[in-house]
Amino acid sequence: MSAPSPLARGRRLMPALALVCIGLQFPGRLLPTTGALVIWLAALAAFDRDTLRRLWMPRFLTLTVLVALAAGMLLGKSDARLWGLPFSRSGLEAGALMTVRGLFIFGLTSWASRALMRDELRGLRRLLRHERLATAMASAVQLIPGLTGQLRRSWSEQRQRGRLSPLRLQSALVSLVEAAARIAEAQLVDPEPAIRAAPRARRVAVSGPQGSGKTTTLLALAERLRGGGFEVGGVRQPVRYEGGLRAGYDLEALSGGERRPLARARTRDGGRAEGFDFDPDAWGWAAERIRAARRDHDVLVLDELGRLEARGEGHLPALAEPLEAERCGLWLLGVRADAVDRLAERAGPFELVFAPSDDPAVLDGYARQLHEVLGERRQAA
Amino acid sequence: MHPVSPPLPLPADLARDQQRFWAYAAAFGAAWGSLEIVVGSFLHALRLPFSGALLAAAGAALLVAQRQVLPVRGLTLATGLVAAACKSLSPGGVILGPMVGISAEAALVELALLAGSWVPSAAAAGALAALWAASQKVLVQYLLYGGDILSLYVEGLRRASGWLGAEQSFGFALVAAFAAGLALVGASGGLLGLRAGRECRKLLRPGDGPR
């Protein structure tokens, strides 16, 4: 990769230089503000001549000079004469400051608006970028010509009927609003008929508070289902301990056994955890394995779902994503007790809700019920 | 490690609501752009002063009407952001001014409509939009020239009142009357939008309208 040219390097310094110049003119004194303007114009001359050329706007420059002269005549006590007219020295100084500051701010905003379209403010653009806004904007740009034509026709029709009255204006507006609303409704995406018609996987929850044995129950049930000839996939969330303390969570794939960090505890000096920092890439990793389990296995085991999923985040999007072909007939989910109702609203109602248990007889009973659910699902498919 | 997972695509049932939200923002953002083009050309041909305030009233009418058809909080602001983002496609020149103006108008209308879609809030929405359009120039000058520009205006009004032989407060009274007139024009736009939106709601069949 070749080294950046001096011009490119200079352009990258412009944001920092802009901040320096803003700082210089901030106190509102004539000399530093003039210095800021000179530095900025010099920088534009060196690194951005296009923007410098665009600063030549005679109307704006004339207005600025008139503002300065008006300040000289109106502000402060008249103690001088210029071209036979009474002027104030302090007013002229204030006018000069206004002129210099106005030119500087104008030069700054001209550069900023062009830089937003280039790479210098990449970070800010990334910050402001919003996928849905970008999509909506692209859609709007395509719609403008058609809607403009429609409004022109409607406007002409109303004017041909006579003088424009509030009722006629209202009719033209109704026509535009109706057209826009119908376009918006027509843009809504309808899911593929195949996905809608596909039988949904049955949802079974193992629900309990933290540390009640949800994971142990889930793994025991997964073993019993494997023993019954079903293929089981999914992701579990084992706790990672360090020095006897809970240090975070990992993610582990049930088929294959791959493991990676999910979250690490943020600790105070006393070693007490005060929250977790999640690795955003971990969600994508888990989502791939959830999708694979839904496509290629009979049973998806997912541990655990909690308040994050109840808010629509975490693992939930991977569960809600429509798949063209889903082999999975059963979702066996470890669910925190305080999130089970909200999750039922988001992910669909639970067929069964099991309490955690390590009693083999209870687990066998659970497994029998799951076999029935899977048997019914196979018949439906 | 970063704090908290970023939001990922929403579940299917919620995604439809979000789809509708952004579809309306896109369609009405485009409609606002069309309104600016058609009405703007008409007003320009008439060479009316303060046509910006009239255009703002028309924009407010559209936004208020949109709120009748899909009463969702935040939709007006999103529509303004879409319309402002479309302005960024204007070739060359300074674009920040119109983008800020459109976004600010949308924000003011959204603020007014938080009180509900009824006569007072529709009137307030239109009035705020029209007053913003008229005062934006002054605000831009304040940013450019600093606080002294306001002192200049105040002193100019005093001197003008003196030259006309009127009391010093006459100029301010004139400005207040002018602002009231603009607010009235804007409020009329808001009310027009309210009526148009309600009529439109009846026209759209239940199957076409929002759930």
The confidence score (pLDDT) of residue B12 equals 45
Give A337-368 pLDDT, tens digit per residue.
888 887 877 767 788 899 999 899 999 999 99
The confidence score (pLDDT) of residue A299 equals 93
User: Any chain A CB within 8 A of the CB of B77?
Assistant: no
Alpha-carbon Rg for chain A, nearest whole angstrom, is: 34
Beta carbons within 10 angstroms of residue B104's beta carbon: 19
Query: Which of the residues A126, A168, A175, A177 would you substitute to probe the B interface, choosing the one with the greatest number of B C-beta atoms within 10 Å?
Result: A177
Distance CA A227, CA A254 (A): 15
pLDDT category of residue A39 using cuts at 50, 70 and 90? very high
Span A278-286, average pLDDT: 84
How far, rounded to the nearest angstrom, does the alpha carbon of residue B133 sit from its chain's CA centroid?
Answer: 8
pLDDT over 60 at A193, yes or no: no
The confidence score (pLDDT) of residue A125 equals 55
The confidence score (pLDDT) of residue A123 equals 57
Query: Which chain B residue's Cα is nearest to A56?
Result: B93
User: Any chain A CB within 8 A of the CB of B196?
Assistant: yes
B204 and A181 within 8 Å at the Cβ level: the answer is: yes
Query: Which of the residues A88, A98, A173 would you substitute to probe the B interface, choosing the one with the greatest number of B C-beta atoms within 10 Å?
Result: A173
Residues in chain A: 381
A74 and B159 within 8 Å at the Cβ level: the answer is: yes
Q: Of the candidates B1, B22, B152, which has its C-beta nearest A71's C-beta?
A: B152
The confidence score (pLDDT) of residue A310 equals 78
pLDDT, chain A, mean: 81
Query: Which chain B residue's Cα is nearest to A150?
Result: B34
Distance CA B55, CA B35 (A): 8
Per-residue pLDDT for chain B (211 aa), expressed as one digit of tens each? Answer: 333 332 333 444 446 677 788 889 999 999 998 888 888 888 888 887 778 889 999 999 999 999 999 999 999 999 999 888 877 665 544 467 788 888 999 999 999 999 887 899 999 999 999 999 988 888 888 888 888 888 888 888 888 888 778 777 778 888 899 999 999 999 999 999 999 999 998 888 544 444 3
3-state class (DSSP) for residue A206:
strand
Give A154-191 pLDDT, tens digit per residue.
878 777 777 778 888 888 898 889 889 888 887 765 54
**Predicted TM-score (pTM) of this structure:** 0.59
User: Any chain B CB within 8 A of the CB of A71?
Assistant: yes
Closest CA of chain B from A380, distance in Å? 23
Answer yes or no: are the C-beta atoms of A104 and A21 closer than 8 Å: yes
Give A297-345 pLDDT, tens digit per residue.
999 999 988 887 877 778 887 887 777 677 888 999 999 988 888 787 7
Distance CA B174, CA B153 (A): 13
Q: Using the structure block, give the residue that is written with the tokens 């439809």.
A: B16
**Percent of chain A residues topping a pLDDT of 70:** 86
